[in-house]
Amino acid sequence: EVQLVESGGALVKTGRSLRLSCTASGFTFRDYDLTWFRQAPGKGLEWVGFIRGIPYGVTTEYAASVKGRFTVSRDDSKSIAYLQMNSLKTEDTGVYYCARVLSVLDYIYGMDFWGQGTTVTVSS
Amino acid sequence: DIQLTQSPSSVSASVGDRVTITCRTSQDISSWLAWYQHKPGKAPKLLIYRASSLQTGVPSRFSGSGSGTVFTLTIDTLQPEDFAIYYCQQPNSFPLAFGGGTRVDIK
């Protein structure tokens, strides 16, 4: 059974850092792209960052709102993806989800498995 | 960047009703569109990919159609477990983007 479990959410002050983890099981982790999303209170889903798997060179993509502050990485030996968040702002508050990417030949069809999310609260 | 606009933003419906949600994109994305269901406190669930392909395990009362810039998600014979928020997404061009969501609640 495919499972993704996020952890690391916390209450932090503006300007501080936080690292989220996404621990995966039930599939060959290294073969899949992974992505992070978030949902601010009362808002819709927002894409945050993306990391390709080994077949496509482990490259990354970021939303403009987080580029330069957030970094997505992965440890295929542990089946864990990370979201390192630096210089946090109050607008980064929300529930953060990781998701497995459904893709064929680097064409992305959607996100077929998601975690339950972890909550990040950034206060001033 | 591609923008997605969903309508309506909310709809009240009864069990057994048919519900249709529309998603319009700011540029032609061919069939590169996905639909998700999201319930509070739960993980989002992929319903449809490539505009009309039903994800494994999703009930056949869900269907998607469209191409280019206009897409629809239809729920035939609404069930109690279908009350949720639905999002369209263009998944194949960065930055990935979602529509604003459509809340389906009980009339």
Report pLDDT digits (tens) over B94-107. 999 999 999 999 88
Pairwise CB contact (< 8 Å): B91 & A45? no
* Averages of pLDDT over each 10 residues, chain A, 124 residues: 98 98 97 96 96 86 98 97 98 98 90 97 97
Helix (H) or strand (E) holding A108, with range, is strand A107-114
**CA nearest to B97, candidates A82, A63, A28, A20:** A63
* pLDDT surpassing 80 at residue B88: yes
A103 with A123: CB under 8 angstroms?
A: no
Give the residue ranges of DSSP H helices in B1-107: none
Q: Which residues contact A68 (CB under 8 A, 6 or more apart)?
A: none
Pairwise CB contact (< 8 Å): A45 & B38? yes
Distance CA A51, CA B53 (A): 25
Which member of A61, A110, A113 has the closest CB to residue B34?
A110
